[in-house]
Amino acid sequence: MSPDQSTSTFQKNLQSIIQRTGSQTLIMTDLEGGTPCNQSLLGTMNQPDVLVLSGMNLPMLLEALNCRHEYALPELARHLLDVGKTNILNSTLRFQEQLKDEGELDDFMN
């Protein structure tokens, strides 16, 4: 959804895309409660073969592209949620722990 796009235009485009993709459509949005998520939910509430996931991150998107044909829609959604959660990390802490485990933290910090 572009900043200058109206919700009615978004809905028309969304329905066109869903018609082209057929059943088992997954919509991934950035934020729950944001306009793309809300409009996707409103536009698909009577379409049981469409699921909307919010909170998408890059690992989820890449995994969706790589394994979209391996799972049925509900299983794909569960799998992507797991991928998304496991790829949210405190990288600073992990890096410090790795250096500490390797006995290199003191050398790195000095």
- Extract the residue ranges of the chain whose pLDDT is less than 50: none
In the prediction, which pLDDT does 60 show? 97
Mean pLDDT computed over every residue of the chain: 90
- Please list, in sequence order, all residues whose beta carbon lies within 8 angstroms of the beta carbon of residue 32, skipping any fewer than 6 positions away: 54, 55
Tell me the H-state helices in 1-110: 7-21, 35-44, 58-67, 73-86, 91-101, 105-109
23 near 49, Cβ under 8 Å?
Answer: yes
pLDDT in tens, 29-45: 999 999 999 999 999 99
- pTM (predicted TM-score): 0.80
